[in-house]
Amino acid sequence: MGGAKRRGKPAGAAAAAGPAQTKWRSGTQERIYGRRLLDALRATRLPQTQPQPRAVKAAADSALALTARGQSRWSRAILLAGAASCRRRVLVKAGGKIRRHRRPQARAALEASKAAAAASAGEPPVLKERKVKDRLRVLGRLVPGCRKLQAPDLLEETADYMAALEMQVKTMRALADAFAAAQLSSPQPPSQAPEASAAGDEAEMER
Amino acid sequence: MEGGGGGDYISSLLNSSPMLDFGVLDGTGAGGDCLDKFCGDPGFAERAARLSSFNGQRFPGAAAGLFGMPPPAPAASNGDFGGAGSREASSVSDPASGMMKDANAKKRKASAAKGKAREPSLSTSGQVGDQKELDAKRCRTGDAEKKTAPVKPKAEQARSGSSVEDYGEPKKGKGKNAKPVEPPKDYVHVRARRGQATDSHSLAERVRRERISQRMKFLQDLVPGCNKVIGKALMLDEIINYVQSLQRQVEFLSMKLATVNPLDFSNLPTLLHKDMYQACGPSASSVFSLESSNSAFPFSDQGDVFQSFVPNSMESQCTLNQLDLALSHATSAQYAFQDGTGSTNLQQQQRNFWEDDLQSVFHVDNNNGQSQDNAAGSAQSFNGADESTQAGQMKMEF
């Protein structure tokens, strides 16, 4: 598929940075991801149980990683984490690392390092300073599979991951809106509750 | 600049670049010593100057432009050397600068997309500056050359495909000046700049730093609102915040989808095509058994949601039904993503499905009757889906 074409591993930096953005912003990727997402969502909905948000998110992230065709480190990490081990670990890690617990820790670490840097006023403005290193570490924790990655590769993975996330958000939002619109016009009683929750979610997201 | 001591330099310049076909000046004794050291000098300084302003750009044609070009008419470059004293100096430096100008031209073509506005200013500054730099670094480049040799294997492990890799070709090209562009090596050739350490460590580090800064600039374009921020730490802050906010949005949307979903897959067809067909039962199993003609419409609606991203054609609408029939086949197998052991097979199944689907996208071989029905059906649903996605896209602009 043309949209997923990308240069191989040992290519130039400048060549790699560009296609990441254009690749994810093309409509073809959105379509591919949309279909994969629908498929995954249908799969998560076991007929008996209610779909949990974690499962939905795991499915969405796995679909995203699949759309990336495993050409980036984070997508491989997500796919491998999903396929690797038992059910429990998949549920927790399929979103790529244990983000739930890490994120407050990451923010706390970030703010702590910020405070420390502000306190130490006499630091020379060297290019690779402790603050930058701290932030790079935090970023490595955010992007799945990029914890022990050096700065240039980490930044490249971040660029690709960001573009992919943007596309994912866009697609999921459209899908959710379509579903919500469909439910609004539905005469069925359960549409009231999801409607309220949808409005609440939107308000929470738009802050 | 080139006044008194230029004789040695000039002769060495001539000796080092055989393409400079003068025959006017003979190499003096001093020139012979500097032969090895200055073999790459005509291009060295201008490339060094370029290194400072073009961070990590590729100039594959650089070396070719430098040594493959015959000395062109130096008339254009005469004005640049206002300080060039002797006539010999000017006649020597002109072809060199002329060659460099051609190299500039080649580089202009090579780096078409980037930094074009900077090229004209750079060429002049590079030519004016290179004389000074060459003078100052006459003895130091000898050391730098010898030291860049250990840099190569050291940097080789670190990176590949560096943007500065072509710079080293004239440096090594003592006997290779006549060659056209050598195939780019895996490792990095970096020149020491004026006033900077020529240590092999610092050279590699400088390359690494340039690479990092280049990628930070790219990230700056990607993250909205990062233009005002200057400095690595603050920019990384912004990037981290943005990634976290995106991940949070994904979480919220997945929560929303989870609450919205359970009823909709059976209701969606009815909701969007109330007049088209009768309502399906609100049971999940009905979703998976949609292989009748009714199934053609519901899945086309879901596909339309995403077709709005792309200007859809008749072909895509038609093939969607085929794809979605395949999808229903897949889902009827009722695999779950929670099943870690099975997911690899399923993902491979998925990939196989997708590859078949994607091939079918380009090979549109569908019935005419089906296409007409889909066109009529999806035309009505497209407006509704379009509005919802428009709203979604507008919300995206936060």
Residues 115-134 of chain A with CB under 8 A from chain B are 117, 127-129, 131-132
Stretch B148-177: mean pLDDT, rounded? 44
What's the pLDDT at A71?
81
pTM of full prediction above 0.90: no
Q: Who wins on pLDDT, A66 or B166? A: A66
Buried b (16+ CB within 10 A) or exposed e, A94-117: bbbbebeeebeebeebbeebeeeb
CB distance B388–A62 less than 8 Å? no
pLDDT at A97 over 60: no
Extents of the domains making up chain A: 24-97+125-182
- Which ipTM value was assigned to this complex? 0.71
Per the domain annotation, does B155 fall within a domain? no
Per the domain annotation, does B303 fall within a domain? no
pLDDT at B266 over 60: no
pLDDT digits (tens, 9 = 90+) for A98-156: 444 545 555 666 666 665 555 554 455 555 578 888 888 888 888 888 888 888 888 88
- The beta-carbon neighbor of B160 closest among A10, A36, A170 is A10
Q: Which of B160, B185, B248, B260 would you mutate first to test chain A, the one with the most A CBs within 10 A?
A: B260
Stretch B383-387: mean pLDDT, rounded? 44
Q: What is the CATH number of the domain that holds B231?
A: 4.10.280
Residues 60-89 of chain A with CB under 8 A from chain B are 60-62, 66, 79, 82-87, 89
Question: In chain B, how many domains are there?
Answer: 1
pLDDT digits (tens, 9 = 90+) for A154-194: 888 899 999 999 988 988 888 888 878 877 776 555 544 44
CB distance A14–B58 less than 8 Å? yes
Grade residue B248 by pLDDT with cuts at 50, 70 and 90. very high
Question: What is the C-alpha separation between A91 and B133, in angstroms, rounded?
Answer: 61
- The beta-carbon neighbor of B258 closest among A17, A52, A202 is A52
Chain B CB contacts of A170 under 8 Å are 392-393, 396
Grade residue A68 by pLDDT with cuts at 50, 70 and 90. confident
Chain B CB contacts of A174 under 8 Å are 305-306, 308-309, 388-389, 392-393
Tell me what the pLDDT averaged over chain B comes to. Answer: 53
Per the domain annotation, does B207 fall within a domain? yes
Of the candidates A60, A29, A28, the one whose C-alpha atom is nearest the C-alpha of residue A172 is A60
pLDDT digits (tens, 9 = 90+) for B60-71: 444 444 444 444
Question: What is the C-alpha separation between B129 and B83, in angstroms, rounded?
Answer: 11
Q: Which residue, chain included where needed, has tokens 């209610």?
A: A50
Domain coverage including residue B212: 200-263
Stretch B323-335: mean pLDDT, rounded? 44
What's the pLDDT at B244?
93
CB distance B216–A155 less than 8 Å? yes
Sign, Cα dihedral of A190, A191, A196, A198: positive
| Min Cα–Cα distance to chain B from A38, Å | 8
Per the domain annotation, does B82 fall within a domain? no
pLDDT digits (tens, 9 = 90+) for A6-31: 444 444 444 455 665 677 777 777 77
Q: Which residue, chain included where needed, has tokens 């980037």?
A: B114
DSSP code for B166: G
Count of residues making up chain A:
207
Stretch B229-255: mean pLDDT, rounded? 88
Measuring CA to CA, how many Å separate B357 from each of A63, B242, B353? 16, 34, 6
Please indicate if any CB of chain A lies within 8 Å of the CB of B282.
Answer: yes
